[in-house]
Amino acid sequence: MKKNPFTSKKTKFVKQLFEAACEAAKAFDLNPSIILAQAAIESGWGESSMATTCNNYFGIIACGKPNNYWHGGKSKTTSRGLCFRRYATPVDSFMDYGRLLRVQYPREAELSFYPESFAQAISYSAYISETNGDDRPRYRKMLISIEQDIREIIKAEDLLIIDFRKEPAASGCSHNEAA
């Protein structure tokens, strides 16, 4: 096994949420390392209050109709007047993110196996809100950098990523083959 040069916080985050990311990746044909990278950004590597109290790893606002993964639970209203979705489990958060990406951002979802293209598209989409103080160019750069770190952690920890895509394409995600 390759030595892991990353902090224990980052490694713990990836190992803890890897299966949730893979489940969402399989269900919605997405790159699990991109899913984990967005979760890392949006939840502060799983340490935000939304992640720890609401299992919301993606900063998804509590609007719209309940679905198979979000049953209508909401956080307390923030100082900015926003309520966020409250999930029963981290897996529900990851699955709802995958669903949201496929339904609301299908073009971006199609790019998830091309991390730089995905980062460009998602950072300039409605998913990112400048009114909440998001800096689009900074978000794009951060997403690319964190996704690369997550790929390295996945390799170093010898986690298995199965390529769930139906059609082969070049991928920014390292896919370990089962022996």
| pLDDT tens string 52-101 | 999 999 999 999 999 999 999 999 877 778 899 999 999 999 999 999 99
* DSSP H/E element including 57: none
Q: What is the pLDDT of residues 122-149, one digit of tens each?
A: 999 988 876 555 789 999 999 999 999 9
The pLDDT assigned to 66 comes to 96
What is the value of pTM for the model shown? 0.85
Class level of CATH domain 8-47+90-156:
mainly alpha
Mean pLDDT calculated for residue range 156-161? 82
Q: Is the pLDDT of residue 1 over 70?
A: no
Q: Can you spell out the DSSP letters for 63-119? A: -S---SS--S-BPPP-TTS--BB--SSHHHHHHHHHHHHHHH-HHHHHTTTSHHHHH
